[in-house]
Chains A and B, each alone.
Chain A
Amino acid sequence: MIEAATWFAVLTLVVALLLTVTIAGIHIGRQSWVRLRQRRAAQPRRILLAVAAEADPDGIGQLARLSAAQWRALEPTAFDLLGKVRGEAYTALVEVFRRRATVDRARRDLHRFGAVRRARAVNVLGQLGDRTAAADLCVLLLRDPHPEVRVTAVRALGQVGDPVAAGPLLASVGTARPAPSLQVAHALAQLGRGAVPECVAALGDDDRSVRMTALDALRLLGEAGAELAVLAVLRDDWSVAVRVRATLALRRIGTGESVPVLLASAAPGRPTAVRAGAAGALGELRAVSARGVLAALLISPEYPVAHAAAGALAALGPPGRRLLALAAAGVGQAAAHAREALAVDALTRRRVVTAAAPVPVRPGR
């Protein structure tokens, strides 16, 4: 027993000393390495910025001819910059990467061992917008065993922007190991109008996550042509979560056509979340004809429903606000909701919005 304790004590001391030396070594080593890298990258970085600023072919050529060590030092910066610019700057940077064979390397890495390496390769291809890799990425998306690779593939497919990915993206949400639906919806939105047919078709899918994703994508795309299909979902779908998503989508793509179905969905007896969602949508659509129904909803004992109804009435403008004022004069929760909605609306309307110049909502490449 005592012998063991001695050995242990000696071992402890030795290990402690080793660790101390290691830590010091790592620290000093890193400082010098970072300084070296910065020195190596200083001049090339200036060229890089010049290339991004004005896409000058000489600069691109210089960067293509950098030594391997210098490029290694510069590559992270170049990559970061890629994600921050678009237009001419973006194309110029992509050209630099192309000349340095980054794309070829990444495409090879797609099939390598090691999940992180694959994920990194996918990320690179996405950032570089390499369309030729789209098919490969779809395969990875659906079949790669590692979840991180699949998630990165979702993002990359969105960045690449090839609509051929729409089907596989939606399918990936419904598999046994599904891709995250929010990311897929965002990627679908980045694919643009080309993704709409698949999304509309997916509204009939068996898996509710797929239907929800399709609804989110249609909402982001603002695809007015899908309105009738979404209304059908709101009317007939068995899942509450899906129907709530449908009301969210209708806020964006709905028109007067949607009002009857929304009114029916807000009626008593329906699930609370659906009623609240429908009330909110009616407000967003400025459905003045619905004000009577909304006013009736104010007295609902279900908080989300009454709250949504009050907000919707406020959004209707003066006719809605008149009804709110009537309700606010009363007592009870309904009056409380009405008073709150009126007060918040008054505060919001004070914000002065000047005329806006056209702004790209979805930054295209």
Chain B
Amino acid sequence: MTAVLVAEDDADIRDLVAFKLAQSGYDVTTAENGPDALSAARDQLPDIAVLDIAMPGMSGLDVCRLLRAEPATSRMLILLLTAKAQEQDVETGFGAGADDYVVKPFSPRELVTRLSALEARARR
């Protein structure tokens, strides 16, 4: 089973994503803020991380950059989930090292599709 970390401060979105992913066969852990997300990622070394950008404590972008900078976590698949939809934001997101960028309002079904696509690409 693929392990996924979901970091999101909004409880409804977090529970929804966790539910959908668990139902789709992933092994899900959650975090509510930036620092918790970072330590969870470092401790549990999930295969994929779904990060909200606007989190208290540390933005998802910073978490992403830090994970990319460390050898143990640098190959983790990272998907950013955020309400920031402008072109510069997308640029910034990918510039931070994300593998994919999903904008809110989002479709849970599409999220799962993207995650499996990421996995498939990584396996190749």
**Binary CB contact string for chain A from 327 to 365 against chain B (1 if under 8 A, 0 otherwise):** 000000000000000000000000111101101111100
Residues of chain B within 8 A of A361, CB atoms compared: 85-87
Q: Identify which of residues 71-124 in chain B touch chain A, using a CB-to-CB cut-off of 8 Å.
A: 85-87, 90-91, 94-95, 100-101, 103-110
Is residue B16 contacting chain A, with contact meaning CB distance below 8 A? yes
Residues of chain B within 8 A of A84, CB atoms compared: 10, 12-13, 16, 104-106
Given A53-B108, A363-B85, A81–B95 Cβ distance below 8 Å?
Answer: no
Could you show 20 A-B contacts with beta carbons less than 8 Å apart?
A49-B15, A49-B16, A49-B19, A53-B20, A54-B109, A81-B12, A81-B16, A84-B13, A84-B105, A85-B16, A85-B107, A86-B107, A87-B109, A90-B105, A353-B91, A353-B94, A356-B90, A356-B94, A357-B100, A359-B101
Residues of chain B within 8 A of A89, CB atoms compared: 16, 107-109
Is residue A52 contacting chain B, with contact meaning CB distance below 8 A? yes
Residues of chain A within 8 A of B10, CB atoms compared: 84
Summed over the interface, the residue pairs from A and B with CB atoms below 8 Å come to a total of 77
Is residue A17 contacting chain B, with contact meaning CB distance below 8 A? no
Q: Which residue of A lies closest to B18 (CB)?
A: A49
Q: Which residue of B lies closest to A45 (CB)?
A: B15
Residues of chain B within 8 A of A87, CB atoms compared: 107-110
Identify the A interface with B (CB < 8 A): 49-50, 52-54, 77, 80-81, 83-90, 351-354, 356-357, 359-363
B residues contacting the other copy or chain, number (CB 8 A): 25
Residues of chain A within 8 A of B12, CB atoms compared: 49, 77, 80-81, 84
Q: Are B19 and A88 in contact (CB under 8 A)?
A: no
Smallest CB–CB gap between B15 and chain A, Å?
A: 6
Q: Are B16 and A86 in contact (CB under 8 A)?
A: no
- Inter-chain CA distance A58–B20, complex, in Å, is 17
- Inter-chain CA distance A363–B10, complex, in Å, is 20
Is residue B23 contacting chain A, with contact meaning CB distance below 8 A? yes
